[in-house]
Amino acid sequence: MTLDVAWAIDWVRRSAATVKEHREELIELDRQIGDGDHGENLNRGFTAVVGKLDALESPPGDVGEVLKLVATTLMSTVGGAAGPLYGTAYLRAAKAAAVPELDANGVVAMLEAALEGIVARGKATTGEKTMVDAWTPATEAAVAAADEGAAPAAVLAAAADAATRGAESTIPLVATKGRASYLGERSAGHLDPGARSTELILHAAAEAAQ
């Protein structure tokens, strides 16, 4: 089974729903080590994306078109660090997914491109208490699952589960990137909000694929 435009649209809608559901949680996580706007910014961004989808006169031609719509909308509506980071992730992913359907290797290419975009934009690596700590294990798990012959849905499920573990791994870390780094040692003991939103969005992708 491959993942098509209908899946991509469902992923976007599920992402918007889960971000809205967890808005207060993301705000509180960001309030503890950041400026408290992560949940509000992402909710506003994905709400705008759904509005753009609803206003389309014809369906997108491929998966990449859907992801590009997400990218451009987030970049124009989301403030803080999340807009540029997620915007770049979706933009790179859109280029890798400019096909009508994604097989397992296509899913891997999409996730790898998104991670590369985040790393390029944020200049972060693993262990610095950022969303990279969720995206990296997610991508690695996707590669491993695809190499074992897993179907696209199973590849996404593996990525989402790894993102959860990656997000949880940020709790004991001391932040060395972004606003949280200003807290130094006091940033330890808190879940990174970007890693948490990454986990939510990748689980939405996996659920849309089921």
Specify the CATH class of 5-209 in words: mainly alpha
pLDDT value, residue 98:
97
Domain ranges of the chain: 5-209
pLDDT value, residue 146:
98
pLDDT digits (tens, 9 = 90+) for 120-168: 999 999 999 999 999 999 999 999 999 999 999 999 999 999 999 999 9
pLDDT value, residue 187:
78
Query: What is the distance between the alpha carbons of residues 80 and 150, in angstroms, rounded to a whole number?
Result: 37
Q: How far is CA 171 from CA 23, 59, 67, 126, in A?
A: 19, 41, 30, 13
Query: What is the distance between the alpha carbons of residues 137 and 143, in angstroms, rounded to a whole number?
Result: 10
pLDDT value, residue 16:
98
* Parts of the chain with a pLDDT under 50: none
Q: How far is CA 65 from CA 106, 121, 166, in A?
A: 15, 21, 29
pLDDT value, residue 125:
92
